[in-house]
């Protein structure tokens, strides 16, 4: 039955995303700022996470909202499923998304994403991609928006991590913006490259902002990664957080 629920949800995910993509494209023709139009992806994320709960039994809890700074900041997210790409829309204030440029090539959806001025990088470009994130990220921060970065660069399997890319930390260090680490356990319920969604609770924990003044990018990354991975190890021991499925 969970396979059927997962299939139904995945079908609705694609249809809903296509619909909202069309709405975004229409809204881009109106005299509205990105911040004003950001309500559309926010409701997209809220609707899909609600559908995930209603259909697949995937609930969520967000903790630590009081840790979000009042100034534009860089948030470093664990990336382990598609769920957090929806949740990021309403967990943090309007932000520019750092993503692979291939996303922009997707008909309708990619065109819609492009209207929000994401930082679309060629992941094979090496240091030039890092420079792009820093340059465009500083522009977004100066304009009052945050920046969202997945420092591992790709979705990681549950329980795995790898060396964080330097772009997000370097952006924060050079701009003086705070870093906010964000941990969650979505990969244990919604595994990458898998249709099956497991019921349970995704705990999103927002860490205390890291003051990047006086630190280099390596130190920032080490501090953020240590906190994120330690927090995830604690989260999965909670009811419904997997792996033992204590719910």
Q: Which tens digit of pLDDT belongs to each residue from 32-80? A: 999 999 999 999 999 999 999 999 999 999 999 999 999 999 999 999 9
SS3 40: helix
Name the band, by pLDDT with cuts 50, 70 and 90, for residue 154: confident
Around Cβ 124, how many Cβ atoms within 10 Å? 8
Dmax over Cα atoms in the chain, in whole Å?
A: 54
Element (H, E) at 136: helix 127-142
Name the band, by pLDDT with cuts 50, 70 and 90, for residue 244: low
pLDDT at residue 23 above 90? Answer: yes
SS3 227: helix
What is the spatial distance between Cα 34 and Cα 124, in angstroms, rounded to a whole number? 29
pLDDT at residue 17 above 70? Answer: yes
User: For the whole model, what pTM was predicted?
Assistant: 0.93
End-to-end Cα separation, the chain, in angstroms: 18
pLDDT at residue 117 above 60? Answer: yes
pLDDT at residue 1 above 60? Answer: yes
Q: What is the pLDDT of residue 247?
A: 47
**Rounded (to 5) percent helix, strand, coil in the chain:** 50, 15, 35
Around Cβ 68, how many Cβ atoms within 10 Å? 18
Question: Which residues 6+ apart lie within 8 Å of 234 measured at CB?
Answer: none
| Structure-token pair, residue 215 | 């630190």
pLDDT at residue 103 above 70? Answer: yes
Q: Average of pLDDT values for 19-24?
A: 98
Q: Average of pLDDT values for 143-170?
A: 93
């Amino acid at each position: 039955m969970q396979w059927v629920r997962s299939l139904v949800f995945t079908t609705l995910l694609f249809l809903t995303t296509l619909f909202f993509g069309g709405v975004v494209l229409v809204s881009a023709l109106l005299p509205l700022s990105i911040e004003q139009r950001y309500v559309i992806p926010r409701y997209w994320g809220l609707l899909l996470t609600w559908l995930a709960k209603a259909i697949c039994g995937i609930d969520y809890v967000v903790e630590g909202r009081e840790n979000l700074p009042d100034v534009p900041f860089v948030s470093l997210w664990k990336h382990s499923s598609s769920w957090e790409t929806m949740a990021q829309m309403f967990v943090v204030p309007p932000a520019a998304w750092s993503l692979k440029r291939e996303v922009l090539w997707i008909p309708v959806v990619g065109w819609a994403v492009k209207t929000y001025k994401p930082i679309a990088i060629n992941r094979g470009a090496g240091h030039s991609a890092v420079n792009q994130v820093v340059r465009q990220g500083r522009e977004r921060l100066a304009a009052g928006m945050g920046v969202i970065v997945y420092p591992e660069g790709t979705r990681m399997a549950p329980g795995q991590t790898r060396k964080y890319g330097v772009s997000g930390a370097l952006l924060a260090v050079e701009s003086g913006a705070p870093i906010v680490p964000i941990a969650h356990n979505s990969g244990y319920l919604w595994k990458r490259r898998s249709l099956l969604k497991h019921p349970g609770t995704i705990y999103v924990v927002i860490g205390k902002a890291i003051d990047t003044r006086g630190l280099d990018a390596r130190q920032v990354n080490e501090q953020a990664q240590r906190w994120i991975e330690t927090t995830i190890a604690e989260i999965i021991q909670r009811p419904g957080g997997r792996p033992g499925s204590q719910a």
